[in-house]
């Protein structure tokens, strides 16, 4: 990581993507375990909808896009102008209208595209932002990025311990901040099981629980890489919360709604999603 950081600090933007493609292709060749996870996930998700050649190309592109995203993050450490100049925001008026209610906004997204740069772009635009994230396994990477998030006034809320996470998230929303929550990773036995590409996937309930508790608006958002490696940030319409017969059913209905939106973007831009994660690892108990 330190070597990549040094290289990206002394490289042009044009050469950055040449470098990233080489790193991504190398990762595809060497990271056999993650490559197999990606192949398996795509085959199970798309079934007969895509042939093996198409799936292989998506996996290669996925590795390249991950490399591009990682190098872009390192590149922006000393170059905030990169984020100002290479991003288009669609639906900014939706954020402003939601924030005008004064109860905070929950931005629901996924490990899709270069999603951390959504926070960077919004922060540079003057929005007060927070993010819920799992502690990074590599402490060196965390030590590299945590000070940069602090400089941008991006409040980092770690998902564990859970009680502190919930308290910090509620405080963030009551301060009328944007709270970013990725909702696409396996959540073990603590969440609910919803349909994702036709299979049950263990999913966190945080966005809906927090919205019901605080009155905050839920706003799905995604970042999409363009052919010229610029980015487009899209804000969907505010999620209208459905109501079930019980609290549990209400949560399940709305987490399914959010998961359906995430799936729709992955279907349109499959290489943008991180297929190297075992999304369906946890399985519901058989009755």
Domain that includes residue 166, residue range: 86-272
Taking only the tens place, the pLDDT of each residue in 13-48 is 889 999 999 999 999 999 999 999 999 999 999 988
pLDDT at 5 exceeding the cut of 70: no
Exposed / middle / buried, residue 234 (Cβ in 10 Å: 0-12, 13-18, 19+)? middle
Structural domain contains residue 53: no
pLDDT at 287 exceeding the cut of 50: no
Mean pLDDT of 113-128: 95
Alpha helices by DSSP H, the chain: 2-8, 13-30, 32-46, 52-76, 80-85, 92-99, 116-124, 139-151, 162-174, 206-214, 247-268
Mean pLDDT of 67-76: 93
Structural domain contains residue 2: no
Number of C-beta neighbours around residue 161 at 10 A: 9
Mean pLDDT of 253-273: 98
Structural domain contains residue 134: yes
Structure-block tokens of residue 164: 């502190």
Structural domain contains residue 238: yes
Structural domain contains residue 188: yes
pLDDT reported for residue 285: 81
Taking only the tens place, the pLDDT of each residue in 135-175 is 887 777 777 788 888 888 999 999 999 999 999 999 999 99
Which residues does 30 contact at the CB level (< 8 Å), separation at least 6? none
Structural domain contains residue 281: no
What rounded mean pLDDT belongs to the chain? 93
Which residues does 226 contact at the CB level (< 8 Å), separation at least 6? 232
Mean pLDDT of 106-126: 96
CA 209 – CA 138 distance, rounded (Å): 30
pLDDT reported for residue 111: 97
DSSP state of 237: P
Mean pLDDT of 204-214: 97
Structure-block tokens of residue 278: 């075992």
52-to-41, 44, 46 alpha-carbon distances in Å: 13, 12, 11
Count of structural domains within the chain: 1
CA 112 – CA 197 distance, rounded (Å): 16
Mean pLDDT of 48-69: 96
Structural domain contains residue 80: no
Structural domain contains residue 66: no
């Amino acid at each position: 990581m330190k070597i990549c950081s040094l290289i990206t600090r002394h490289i042009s933007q044009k050469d950055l993507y040449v470098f990233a493609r080489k790193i991504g292709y190398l990762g595809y060749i060497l990271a056999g375990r993650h490559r197999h996870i990606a192949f398996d996930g795509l085959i199970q998700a798309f079934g007969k909808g895509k042939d093996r050649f198409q799936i292989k190309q998506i996996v290669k592109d996925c590795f390249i896009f991950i490399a591009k995203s990682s190098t872009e993050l390192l590149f922006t450490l000393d170059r905030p102008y990169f984020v100002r100049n290479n991003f288009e925001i669609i639906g900014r008026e939706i954020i402003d209208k939601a924030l005008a209610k004064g109860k905070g906004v929950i931005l629901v997204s996924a490990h899709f595209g270069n999603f951390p740069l959504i926070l960077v772009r919004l922060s540079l635009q003057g929005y007060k932002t927070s993010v819920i994230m799992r502690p990074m396994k590599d402490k060196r990477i965390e030590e590299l990025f945590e000070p940069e998030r602090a400089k941008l006034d991006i409040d980092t809320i770690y998902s564990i311990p859970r009680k502190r996470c919930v308290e910090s998230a509620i405080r963030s929303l009551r301060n009328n901040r944007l709270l970013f929550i990725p909702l696409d990773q396996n959540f073990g036995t603590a969440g609910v099981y919803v349909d994702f590409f036709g299979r049950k996937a263990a999913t966190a309930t945080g966005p809906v629980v927090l919205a019901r508790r605080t009155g905050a608006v839920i706003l799905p958002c995604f970042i999409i890489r363009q052919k010229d490696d610029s980015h487009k940030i899209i804000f969907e319409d505010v999620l209208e919360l459905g109501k079930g017969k019980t609290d549990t059913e209400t949560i399940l209905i709305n987490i399914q709604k959010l998961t359906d939106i995430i799936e729709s973007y992955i279907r349109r831009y499959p290489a943008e999603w991180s297929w190297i994660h075992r999304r369906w690892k946890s399985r519901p108990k058989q009755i």
